[in-house]
Amino acid sequence: MSHGAASSDKCEPNFVPLLDLVLQLVMFFMLCANFVIEQTNVTIELPHAAAAKILDKGIEYAIYLNVNSEGVVLLAPSDQYTDSQGNVISTLNNPDQVETFLKRRARDDIAAAGPGGADKPLRSVIILRVHKNCPFEKTYGIMKACRRAGYHRVQLRALLVQPD
Amino acid sequence: MLTHKRKKVPEHVDPDLPIVPMLDMTFQLLAFFIMTFKPAPTEGQIALALPKEEGGGISSPSPIDENKPLEYVVRVEATDDGRIASMSLIEKGSAAALPKDLKADVQTFSNELSKISQQLTQQNKTGKLTLEIDDKLVQAYVVQLVDQAIRIGFSDISPVPIDPKKR
């Protein structure tokens, strides 16, 4: 019985198609990754709505009001401020505090608008992210505070669902 | 005598690209993204008009204007835990004195609004819907009612609290 000469060729698996596939998967998951926007609060459970429209990406200036189930506005870290007594304000507990906060922001908007800014509509849009268990009384109080502060453009946020 | 220089044939070198470390790293990245992948529901927006005046309720009758939108008011009462207890529909300025009972059923609310919407389309008129909402009603139900009304075709919707004088 004769045996053939032993081959000296290396046997290497072809990794290239595997790498292509894995890189495509990595790309997919990277693109789908949801990065938490600083101004949105993940503890706010939004109600569902089928008629809600897809978010307008063109909004340049927005003021996020995250309202929890007790009707307290939770300010994003970048929106927190220090009051005259040196206390850091991170929550707004009633409509009057909301109005005070929004009037501060309205002053910034007017200043940014330049000469005659007081006569122009405020550039910011108020984005209301209200918890699904928040009573209407609280939501309405906040909406009235927005109005009193001079804001007219308000968006209510909801989770998009498919219509029945 | 001419001498021909022989061209040197370059030696064939196999490029050795170390794929294995790259593959290791890529698998680690893949594992990270798979483990952190959480398809979150998409957020949408509902544009709202802010309340103009204190309280809701029905103001005094105004002269009839053919082009003026017909105004419908749905009063929503709530239970102590914030659910819908009852709903009633009235047409502002209509001769029908009694409000129509919609019970606590969102489907009935939806059906009634659909009928109104069809009538408005036939008459070539527009409608304004005011939702007079109990203070205790939670946001989920408020959005549900607004959502139904938008889907039926109402674009002018005002959620306002129930005027305490009219309770």
What is the 8-class DSSP label of residue B97?
-
Looking at beta carbons, which residues of chain B come within 8 Å of A48?
140, 143-144, 147
Using a CB–CB cutoff of 8 Å, tell me whether A53 touches chain B.
yes
pLDDT at A132: 94
pLDDT tens for residues A38-85? 677 778 899 999 988 888 777 888 899 999 999 999 988 888 888 888
Query: Residue type for A148, please?
Result: R
- Tell me: pLDDT of A136 over 70: yes
Query: Residue type for B99, please?
Result: P
**Whole-number average pLDDT of chain A:** 84
List the domains of chain B with CATH numbers.
70-166 (3.30.420.270)
pLDDT at B70: 82
**Distance of CA B14 to CAs A97, B11, B40, Å?**
72, 10, 47
A contact test, residue of B46, B107, B144, B152 with most A CBs within 10 A: B46
Query: Residue type for A65, please?
Result: L
* A15–B23 CB contact, under 8 Å: yes
How far is Cα A91 from Cα B33, in angstroms, rounded to an integer? 34
Boundaries of every domain in chain A:
48-160
Q: Average pLDDT for residues B90-113, to the nearest whole number?
A: 82
pLDDT at B63: 44
- Tell me: pLDDT of A147 over 60: yes
Nearest CA among A38, A149, A61, A148 for reference residue A112 = A61
Picking from A69-78, B32-41, B52-61, which range would have the lowest pLDDT averaged per residue?
B52-61
Looking at beta carbons, which residues of chain A come within 8 Å of B34?
29
pLDDT at B61: 39
Q: pLDDT exceeding 90 applies to what percent of chain B?
A: 29
Q: Average pLDDT for residues B13-27, to the nearest whole number?
A: 82
Looking at beta carbons, which residues of chain A come within 8 Å of B44?
49, 52-55, 157-160
How far is Cα B74 from Cα B91, in angstroms, rounded to an integer? 9
Q: Average pLDDT for residues A13-28, to the nearest whole number?
A: 85
How far is Cα A141 from Cα A95, in angstroms, rounded to an integer? 6
| Highest mean predicted confidence (pLDDT) among A25-34, B35-44, B109-118 | B109-118
**A136 CA: distance to closest CA in chain B (Å):** 5
